[in-house]
């Protein structure tokens, strides 16, 4: 799948883990194609979420057109790329702060047949995006680890700088505190992929919430 289109990418972190596939299918039936999977190891970030087995189970239970966007909040991600690729990830995004071997890991991701993503925490300068080739640049708009946090506005300028650095063709994803209002601001700054967890799955009507964000960011 080309990454050039705009997408709202629901984060399953805020979904009901006992009914993951059902929750995701409901949003896919509304037109969503990209599903954001947050992997946390209890080291890089304090919480532990899930690993390749859950990604594989989702892959099995979802239609082929589902694009699994796997955000690895784990230390030394190079040791786990092969497992997540085998589990059916379409894209794997690693943290710049999580390994000294960023370029190696991004190459490993592409060699495994996946789209490569690099992500920076709010306190990390974006210069690293000028040093490596990526299919997707992810700008954290909260500190990684938890859903439901408030959007950090200083990251809007970072989005603008990364868009200027990478040109129009690379997907720029934002993650954290995204709702229709903050999503629209990120779109204006140059973002094209919009992760939304609590704003979708904690809403009384997740499908309506998905549409509302998609319209606000120009994804539908
Ligand atoms: C946080 C995760 C996010 C999280 C976003 O570390 O990377 O993907 O699910 O949650 P919201 O959209 O609720 O801020
Ligand atoms: Zn995420």
Per-residue pLDDT tens for 102-128? 999 999 999 999 999 999 999 999 999
- Residue 2's pLDDT band (boundaries 50, 70, 90)? confident
Counting atoms of ligand 1 from 1, which one is nearest the CA of 40?
6
Single pTM value for the model: 0.98
Residue 149 CB neighbour total at 10 angstroms: 15
Residue 199 sits at φ, ψ, to 5 deg, of: -65, -25
**Which of the residues 38, 69, 90, 135 is marked catalytic?**
38
Using CA atoms, how far residue 205 sits from 16, 23, 201, 209, 212, in Å, is: 14, 11, 8, 6, 11
The residue whose CB lies within 8 Å of the most ligand 1 atoms, and thus the one to mutate among 147, 180, 196, is: 147
Geometric angle at alpha carbon 109, from 50 and 32, rounded to 5°: 60
DSSP-assigned letter for residue 80? T
Tell me, what's the pLDDT at 1?
87
Pick the closest to residue 153 from 117, 182, 118, 175 (CA basis): 182
């Amino acid at each position: 799948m080309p990454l050039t289109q705009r997408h709202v990418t629901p984060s399953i972190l805020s979904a009901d883990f006992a009914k993951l596939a059902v929750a995701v299918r409901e949003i896919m039936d509304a037109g969503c194609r990209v599903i954001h999977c947050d992997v946390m190891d209890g080291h890089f970030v304090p919480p532990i979420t899930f690993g390749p087995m859950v990604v594989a189970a989702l892959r099995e239970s979802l239609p082929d057109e589902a694009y699994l966007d796997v955000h690895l909040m784990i230390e030394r991600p190079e040791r786990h790329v092969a497992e997540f690729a085998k589990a059916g990830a379409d894209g794997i995004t690693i943290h710049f702060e999580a390994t000294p071997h960023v370029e190696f890991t991004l190459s490993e991701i592409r060699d495994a047949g996946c789209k490569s993503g690099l992500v920076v925490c709010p306190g990390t300068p974006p210069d690293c995006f000028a040093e490596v080739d990526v299919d997707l640049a992810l700008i954290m708009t909260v500190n990684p680890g938890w859903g439901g946090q408030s959007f950090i506005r200083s990251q809007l300028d970072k989005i603008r700088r990364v868009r200027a650095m990478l040109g129009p063709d690379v997907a720029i994803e934002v993650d954290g505190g995204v709702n229709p209002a903050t999503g629209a601001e990120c779109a204006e700054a140059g973002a094209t992929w919009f992760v939304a967890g609590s704003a979708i799955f904690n809403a009384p009507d997740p499908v309506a919430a998905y549409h509302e964000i998609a319209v606000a960011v120009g994804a539908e």
